[in-house]
Structure 1
Amino acid sequence: MNKILMIAWILAGISSFVVPPDMEYLNYIDFHTLGLLFCLMAVMAGLSREGVFGQAAGRLITVVKNSRQMELILVFLCFVFSMLITNDVALITFVPFAIQVLEMADMRKRIVPVVVMQTVAANLGSMFTPIGNPQNLYLYSKSGMTLSAFFKLMLPYTLLAAVMLLGMILLRKCVVLGDLQVRESEKVKNPWKIAIYAMIFLLCLLCVSHLLPVWVVMFVTILAVFMIDRGTFKEIDYSLLLTFAGFFIFIGNMGRISMFCNFLKSILNGNEILTAVISSQVISNVPAALLLSGFTDQWSKLIIGTNLGGLGTMIASMASLISYRFLIAAYPEEKRRYTLHFTVVNLGFLLGFLIAMWSVRSW
């Protein structure tokens, strides 16, 4: 994320020479998206510090009888939880847990494929909700569409993703396991903190539904975190917020350059999904969403394109780098194998989606 942050502000700085700073710069920043993203990250960081997600996973994993059941749970934990706690948090929570469980089951050879599937699952599961990933939150806010319209738009793609993940797991060799004793997570010491974070999360949902102004949610979040656990502030990814701000300035400036606007609009016209997918492979899907949103009003296509664009290269979705860092830290010798497996699986899923979309349109 630091490299993307640097790129964002380098581009913002360069564009400011073409379009000198003025009062219009204040209109570039989408404070609604930044404020809501801050609140969601604070809630998820707080819940993680309380061990909520790890404890839930620990209880679920004790029911497994074979490797297939284990992989289904490990992968679909990421798929389902990413819809509510974001793809980043899902991977931060469940990838280290998966590595630990597979080591305890003496199934180290399965760690690479399982972590790859977890990464794909988190990136695809998160596309179902506006709060699943940063680009959804931004584009949903920008589009003004209703929550039900967003769910209706992404439901077919989410169901297809679930079927593809299920099929991939079912095709893998199934091995019977002995009794797997997973170390239980520490019991929650402060259930009242969890209740407060849950309340803030509900406020975030009301804000997503445009029923509550973002400044109210931010005020409650900052006050609550300051009172109950100030350490949570250290867990928030401020670099992501700064990255958004940098790209907001760059996109705002570029939108005032007529030559660039005409060029990008000519490329986007009728090719929004494919353009979003291709650009995501180079600059990742969050910056792609921020950049392209300034030059088209085809929000549905842009949402679909940037979500599918998270598949492919490792930088297509910055969340994918989280899994990579965890895996390489534990098994540095698996770097090449993981990169190859990741690329093949991601390109396979992306190709599958594109073929399915082309088939539906042709029919």
Structure 2
Amino acid sequence: MKLLAWLKSEPVLVAAWALALISAFFVPPDAAYADYLDTRTLALLFCLMAVMAALQGAGLFHRAGEWLLRRTATSRQLEACLIFLCFFASMLVTNDVALITFVPFALEALGMAGLTQRAIPVVTMQTIAANLGSMATPIGNPQNLYLYSRYHLSAGTFFTVTLPYVALSALLLLLFVLAQKPRPIQAPAFSTSLSYGRARFCVQAALFALCLCAVARVLNVWIAVAAVLAGMLLADRRALLRVDYALLFTFAGFFVFIGNLGRVEAFSDFLRGMLAGREVPVSIAASQALSNVPAALLLSGFTEDAISLVIGTNLGGLGTLIASMASLISFKRISLALPEARGRYLGYFTLANLAFLAALCALWWILR
């Protein structure tokens, strides 16, 4: 029963392996299956998730947020803090971790400040901020890490592509904040302390630096894996239990499915023809139904236009609730904290996402 409940909570994982199994009927398992898995991407994901789980469990991000919030004096400053915390944090700790950490934090802070009625717009903007801020770096979200590794992009190329969209996103978020009427508030008071000693924190910081070196291809990824495993076993074994292994297995399932599709000539030719010159709109559309991580995994098997996939799958995270799986984190938190507001949240979320998507698509049209 526990296994069934877990599978129900991981629909993307189930779908990935269902597709992999179906595709195996058309391409029976053979030695070529071993070449499907992008082990470097899987290893990098594991390392980053383990280190982020340790730092999050230690209360580091929550503590940093508290430090900023203690310096707010108006409702506008509070909202700006909560939204841009997600925007900038997601660049380094991923959009998922930013939302898992700062959405509950925002709901608590807004409640303490007597601003619960602002929860829907603030959490919506936090979600948009995390999804768009994460576009800035190769480690900001899983699809960036995969595409950066899969196509051997340079850091310079990646940042040149993403910077205009990140800058416009920041401007739009700032305009949203400035449009709010400032009201004096009492800064929320928290009492969270770091659960780590300085030595353990230094270990995790060093491991994060090693992860960045591995992403930049300065360090062999398997050395990073060995270091992270050793460091976690010594400093924080529980963090290894908090790694999102379902995401790793989801990637593996899609790798098998994509590998098999590539060997079915008729389907491969169809997808390549559909994508040719239309990578950005197709990846945006695919993300609305599949979510942007699966869309990146699927479409990368049939085009060499890495730049367009980076743009399309990141912009594609806007739109429907499932366009980015990270958005479900916010929806679940709102549903728990304000169950009566789920419908209003979904409506506001969809309209706000479509507005941001339209603005960023207009920028793509101008720059292309």
Structure 2 length-normalised TM:
0.96
Asked if 1:140 is matched to 2:142, the reply is: no
Distance in structure 2 (CA, Å) of the matches to 1:191 and 1:331: 37
Paired position in structure 2 for 1:171: 179
Aligned counterpart in structure 1 of residue 333 of structure 2, from 326, 329, 340: 326
Question: Contact conserved, 2:38 with 2:255, CA < 8 A, in 1?
Answer: yes
How many angstroms apart in 1 are the aligned matches of 2:18 and 2:367? 41
The corresponding residue for 2:91 is: 83
Give per-residue Cα distances to partners, 1:173-209, cap 9 Å, x unaligned: 22222x3241131145412111111111111111111
Between the two proteins, what is the percent identity of the paired residues? 50
Q: Structure 1 residue 39 and structure 2 residue 47: aligned?
A: yes
Asked if 1 retains the 8 angstrom alpha-carbon contact of 2:53 and 2:242, the reply is yes
Q: How many angstroms apart in 2 are the aligned matches of 1:56 and 1:169? A: 21
Q: 1:232 aligns with which of 233, 239, 255?
A: 239
2:115 matched residue in structure 1:
107
| Deviation per residue, 1:185-241 (Å, 9 max, x gap) | 114541211111111111111111111111111111111111111111111111000
Aligned residue number for residue 229 of structure 2: 222
1:264 and 1:108 map into 2 onto residues whose CA distance is 47
Aligned to 1:280: 287
Alpha-carbon distance in structure 1 between the residues aligned to 2:287 and 2:199: 41
Residue 339 of structure 1 corresponds to which residue in structure 2? 346
**Paired letter, 1:64:** T
Does 1:29 pair with 2:37?
yes
Amino acid at match of 1:155: L
Inter-partner Cα distance in structure 1 for 2:272 and 2:111? 51
CA change 1:143–1:190 in 2 (3 A) is: same
Measured against aligned partners, the alpha-carbon deviations of 1:268-289 in whole angstroms (never above 9, x if no partner) come to 0110000000000000000000
State the SS of the aligned residue for 2:324.
coil
Unpaired runs of 5+ residues, structure 1, are: none
The CA deviation at 1:357 is 2.3
CA distance in 2, matches of 1:189, 1:238: 24
Residues in 1 aligned to 2:335 and 2:158: alpha-carbon distance in whole angstroms:
36
CA contact (8 A) 2:60 2:194 kept: no
Deviation at 1:77, TM superposition (A): 0.3
Question: Counterpart amino acid of 2:257?
Answer: F
The CA distance in 1 between the partners of 2:194 and 2:161, in whole Å, is 39
Q: State how many pairs are aligned.
A: 360
CA contact (8 A) 1:312 1:347 kept: yes
Instruction: Please list every run of 5 or more consecutive structure 2 residues that lacks an aligned counterpart in the other structure.
Output: 1-8
**How far is 1:359 from its partner?**
3.5
RMSD after superposition: 1.0
Aligned counterpart, 2:362: 355
SS at match of 2:302: coil
Q: What amino acid sits opposite 1:110 in the alignment?
A: R
Amino acid at match of 2:80: L
The equivalent of 1:292 in structure 2 is: 299
